[in-house]
A and B are shown apart, each in its own frame.
Chain A
Amino acid sequence: MSDSKAIFLKDATVNAADGDQRAFINKALGGYYTNRDLQKARYRDWERARDAASMAKWSAVNDLANVLEKFVGNFERNGGVVHWARDAEEARTIILKIAEDVKAKAIVKSKCMTTEEIHLNDALEKAGYGVVESDLGEFIQQLRGEAPYHFVFPCMHVKREAISALFTKHLGTAPTDSPEELTMIARRHLRQLYIDADIGITGANFLVAETGQISITENEGNARLTAALPRIHIALSGIEKVVNHLDDLSVLLPMLATAGAGQPMTCYNTLYSGPRKKGECDGPEEFHLVLMDNARTRILADPEQRDSLHCIRCGACLNVCPIFKNIGGLAYGTTYQGPIGSVITPHLRGLKQWNHLSGASSLCGACTDACPVRIDLHHHLLHNRRNAAKQSPTLFDLAFHHGFTFVIKRPWLFALGGRIFRATLPLLQKLPLPYMGAWMKTRDLPKAPAQSFRDQWKNQNV
């Protein structure tokens, strides 16, 4: 068993038994379900909107070389600087080099899962830079020293009392149980930090090839401030974030907000096309964009699962997933949690160590239904399972597969086996069966019918 699997099984078991925490998560998501349904009802045809959204992403991803090239040409013409990173290490090196070149002291960041993916904060801190997460949820998680619980709602599992205690400890503020007051504490604390920072680091939700702009979606205004006040702006993005046309955003932006957060539109959707232009009064002097592969081309090379690169990271699949809701986001041990995380993590970090996530699914298909860009999520979980069994089958897989094939090809053996199985079922219930322990702990074996189906069929005298 891989380490990551052992940790996963342990954490998942503990969390699933924590009724309080599960109730808390369910309550937190309750408002989302209502708002999402209200907003979806405003769409005159949600399914056709999903068609358009998935086609917008499909056409860009399946023509990635050309679209990316066009984007980069336009981005550079707008005065931005593009850097290429094959993997996480290269991306970190590039960003550290920029920080060194501009003699940065303080860095402010807005929420960006791609920077979580490459553990950028650790690298920057090790190099001696102060880095502050400015998104409220990320700020809280940074103070807690914990990874985000959900890639859209990073601290949704933390109760207000814990946040109040955290702020008292780190910021010296008086305890309060009001979410409003807690938010204002963070607001006051972060304001001066934006002003003092030399570098602002953001992610990107979309890269628009037609105009060379990057689009950033957020609710709080922290990304706006991060890209407005510091003298250097660095954005980190996966290469799969491109779309062809500016107009694609007229579909993708509202759907991202509605699917993921039950909003008509996220509060700030901002397009940046370069550093401060001539005649503009503010904005950064330099705008760097780091375009990173980090295993995305590996997913691209798998036509069956290529559509998982369409993901716009809305979080809808997490919000509806029975597994996510029961085991919580931290148990996954991944940057991307929930169904999409279970699909792509094996590609990013290795199928052998991460395939267990694809097993943690009821295959109910709620994720696929929720996905605004029609990623075939629950089938991809099956694809991962199949690929893992092919790539490195366990002894059990092999024995079971060959045994089953042998028996099913011989009807007499199948019938005999069935008879023996029916006769011994009551006995099996009491025996400690190899491999079956975890299954049997919470389940009874069914009662054996007196006759097999084939006998019943034979005996009905038609």
Chain B
Amino acid sequence: MSDARSDIFARIREALKVKAPKPHLKGDGAAGKTSTVAKPWLPDGGETAEDSLTILAEQLAKLKAVLIRVPDHASAAKAVAELSASKNWKKVAYHGHDLLRPVVAALTCETWEADTSFDKQRLEGCDAGITTCESIVAQLGSILVSSASSGGRALSILPHVHVVVAESSQIVPDLGAALALAKARHGDQMPSMLSFITGPSRTGDIERILVLGAHGPKELYLILIG
């Protein structure tokens, strides 16, 4: 008996001997020539950095994510400390990164660098996870995290609150730009996980009524420096 792999490939090759027509396109067909060309038919991500920031702020507000803009690193630390105090966080896990260490140093609660060990139970007991990100997509309000920039896979999804600290220079206009940047940065050594996070976790499974915090974080904060 031949193996499944070669069988399936044989079936595919046989099936494709007959050509199928192209889909009936409405535009001039240029849209079909994919790949990294600008896509002026998708939602707008802004021409200038200023436009992008405006769109991003609008999108995040609609998604019920909280954007906190601060002028510098010191005020980022202050903003997170205030958040922690007001929400009464007892334990906070964070990704060991130079951008985050001063932020965490300003916290008065128990803190834990989650990259140092994989302790699911301990992470589950944390009120918040603090991470950096790869980039921020203005067009859709998405934040791209990765197992490299966010202390692995679990830190940005298991704790009840997710705080992302980023610089405004990390904003890109659209999804295509974010993917291109990830490719340029990591080449063929992609982190094992890349995740676009678009607002706090949500579900509409009960009567199509929106509820935040289905399994992932109920609250999502983006602390944007500069």
Taking the nearest CB of chain B, how far is it from the CB of A224, in angstroms? 4
A239 within 8 A of B: yes
Determine, out of B29-37, B69-77, B163-171, the stretch whose residues face the partner at the interface: B29-37
Q: Are A136 and B214 in contact (CB under 8 A)?
A: yes
Q: Which residues of B contact A85 (CB under 8 A)?
A: 4
Q: List chain B residues, Cβ under 8 A from A45.
A: 27, 40-41
Residue of B nearest to A85 (CB): B4
Q: Does B49 reach chain A (CB closer than 8 Å)? A: no
B216 is contacted by which of A78, A90, A140, A221 (Cβ under 8 Å)?
A: A221
Please determine whether A136 and B206 come into contact, CB atoms closer than 8 angstroms. Answer: yes
Query: Is there an interface contact between B4 and A140, defined as CB atoms closer than 8 Å?
Result: no
Q: Which of B22, B40, B115, B199 contacts A44 (CB 8 A)?
A: B40
Structural contact, A270 and B205, CB atoms closer than 8 A? no
A268 engages B195 (CB within 8 Å): yes
What A residues does B117 contact at CB under 8 A? 281
Inter-chain CB contacts under 8 Å: number: 319
Decide yes or no whether A229 CB sits under 8 A from chain B. Answer: yes
What is the bound-complex CA distance between A273 and B45, given in angstroms? 27
Q: Is B108 an interface residue (CB 8 A)?
A: no
| A190 & B31 in contact (Cβ 8 Å cutoff) | no
Q: Is B116 at the interface (CB under 8 A from chain A)?
A: yes
- Asked if A49 and B41 make an inter-chain contact with CB atoms under 8 angstroms apart, the answer reads yes
The complex places the Cα of A300 from the Cα of B128 at a distance, in Å, of 48
Majority SS of interface residues in chain B?
loop
Instruction: Known A68-B12, A225-B158, A282-B153; judge A220-B203 contact (CB<8 A).
Output: yes
Contacting residues, chain B, for A251 (C-beta < 8 A): 34, 39, 42
**What mask results when residues 45 to 68 of chain A are scored 1 for a CB within 8 Å of chain B, else 0?**
111111110111011001111001
Cα–Cα distance between A282 and B180 once the two chains are bound (Å)? 25
Q: How many chain A residues touch the partner (CB < 8 A)?
A: 110
Interface size for B (C-beta < 8 A) is 91
Interface pair B16/A64, CB less than 8 Å apart: yes
Chain A window 68-101, contacts with chain B (Cβ cutoff 8 Å), 1 for yes, 0 for no: 1100000001100000111000100000000000
Residue A11 interfacial (CB < 8 Å): no
A275 touches B124 (CB 8 A): no
Determine the distance from Cα of A186 to Cα of B152 in the docked complex, in whole angstroms.
25
Cβ–Cβ contact A268 & B196, under 8 A: yes
Chain A interfacial positions (CB closer than 8 Å to B): 28-29, 31-32, 42-52, 54-56, 58-59, 62-65, 68-69, 77-78, 84-86, 90, 134-137, 140, 153-156, 158-160, 163, 179-180, 182-184, 186-187, 190-191, 195, 211, 213, 219-222, 224-225, 227-229, 239, 244-251, 253-254, 261, 263-277, 280-283, 291, 293, 297-298, 300-301, 303-304, 306-307, 373-374, 376
Residue contacts A-B, CB under 8 angstroms, 28 given: A28-B207, A31-B208, A51-B23, A55-B22, A58-B23, A59-B32, A68-B9, A136-B206, A156-B207, A191-B124, A213-B194, A219-B203, A220-B215, A224-B195, A224-B215, A227-B193, A239-B8, A250-B175, A264-B63, A269-B142, A273-B190, A280-B148, A281-B151, A282-B154, A293-B11, A300-B15, A306-B20, A374-B23
